[in-house]
Amino acid sequence: MRLQRIRRLLEEMNLEYKYTDIEECGSLDFDYRGVPYHVWEFHDGEWGAETNVKNGGQSEDITGDYEEKIIQIIKSWK
């Protein structure tokens, strides 16, 4: 199982999510205030995630400590 820290945060926020593990990469889909969000991991020479948590209508790739970066963005929604 991947994306454990993000899943833990979503659970703390009482948000339902769908988790899938595809080819050793985690995939999360969830809604927040009626907006659908996703976090899709990839490994293409380096680990990263495609996500729209920063701007619900636009996806971007985040690399490095992507899980922590995504957590900080989601925490800023409160």
- Whether pTM exceeds 0.85: yes
Work out the pLDDT band at 12, boundaries 50, 70, 90: very high
Instruction: Count how many domains the chain has.
Output: 1
Whether the predicted pLDDT of 71 surpasses 80? yes
Locate 11 and state its tokens: 């659970």
Give the Cα separation of 57 and 7 in Å (integer).
Answer: 21
| Domain with 16 in it | 4-75
Evaluate whether 49 touches 37 at the Cβ level (below 8 Å). no
Whether the predicted pLDDT of 57 surpasses 90? no
Amino acid letter for position 11: E
